[in-house]
């Protein structure tokens, strides 16, 4: 899968919204445009799930309350970043700086080892004739493909026990599994979480 130039995507309106406003997850998608918004996330459960039933988790709940992803980029507009093009060395420097901050984004331990369920979009890592085997789950349509990867605390790595057919990149799904805090690098982005014993379902309201 070929991805567009990260520098071209860096100065897109969507990324500027993410960086400057500190928007994360589903609210960021809505801010960038309704057509790109992720499926409505379930509200994070405040109590214990019924026996055998997963906790409904929102993407926002996977981000530490005191973490501000925009703090490192307060000077972004002052330098006129929206006017930079791919050949501007400042654009590459900014992209590298952004990736360092976002790839090391802090996680939360609230749901460590718990059975959870949340909606998101598929970014395929391993698929073939037998189906999808490995993927990243992200809150925004096109993340890691048409736009830069979101912060690591907004990416969940999933390796299914068996390949499943009927799912592809950009598909909206419900994912259920045991959430683990586990940072992992992939060609499509750095994930801060993983789902064990995961299963996917087509997204439905």
For residue 49, what pLDDT is reported? 56
The pTM (predicted TM-score) of the whole model is: 0.76
pLDDT per residue as tens digits for the range 180-201:
999 999 999 999 999 999 999 9
Rounded distance between C-alpha atoms, residue 105 and residue 139, angstroms: 16
User: Can you read off the two tokens belonging to residue 50?
Assistant: 């019924």
Could you tell me which residues are beta bridge partners of residue 134? 126, 159
pLDDT per residue as tens digits for the range 114-134:
999 999 999 999 998 999 999
pLDDT at 43 over 50: no
Q: Which CATH superfamily is domain 6-202 in?
A: Protein of unknown function (DUF3299) (2.40.50.870)
Q: Is 61 helix (H, G, I), strand (E, B) or coil?
A: helix
Proportion of the chain above pLDDT 90, given as a percent: 51
For residue 119, what pLDDT is reported? 97
Proportion of the chain above pLDDT 70, given as a percent: 70
pLDDT at 72 over 80: no
- Rounded to an integer, the average pLDDT of 51-74 is 87
* Interhelix angle 13-21/25-32, nearest 10 degrees: 140
pLDDT at 176 over 80: yes
* Residue boundaries of the structural domains of the chain: 6-202
Confidence of residue 39 (pLDDT cuts 50, 70, 90): low
Beta strand 172-186 pairing with 189-202? antiparallel
pLDDT per residue as tens digits for the range 144-167:
776 788 999 999 999 999 999 999
């Amino acid at each position: 899968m070929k991805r567009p130039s990260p520098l071209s995507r860096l100065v897109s309106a969507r990324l500027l919204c993410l960086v400057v406003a500190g928007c994360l997850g589903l609210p960021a998608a809505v801010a960038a445009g309704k057509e790109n918004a992720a499926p409505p996330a379930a509200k994070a459960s405040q109590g214990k799930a019924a026996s055998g039933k997963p906790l409904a988790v929102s993407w926002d709940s996977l981000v530490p309350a005191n973490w501000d992803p925009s703090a490192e980029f307060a000077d972004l507009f002052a330098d006129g970043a929206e006017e930079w093009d791919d050949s501007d060395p400042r654009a590459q420097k900014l992209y590298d700086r952004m990736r360092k901050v976002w790839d090391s984004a802090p996680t939360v331990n609230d749901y460590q080892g718990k059975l959870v369920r949340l909606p998101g979009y598929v970014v395929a890592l391993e698929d073939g004739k037998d189906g999808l085997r490995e993927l990243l789950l992200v809150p925004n349509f096109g993340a890691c493909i048409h736009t830069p990867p979101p912060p690591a605390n907004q990416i969940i790595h999933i390796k299914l026990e068996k390949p499943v057919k009927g799912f592809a990149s950009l598909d909206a799904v419900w994912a259920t599994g045991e959430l683990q805090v586990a940072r992992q690098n992939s060609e499509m982005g750095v994930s801060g979480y993983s789902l064990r014993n995961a299963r996917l379902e087509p997204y439905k309201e």
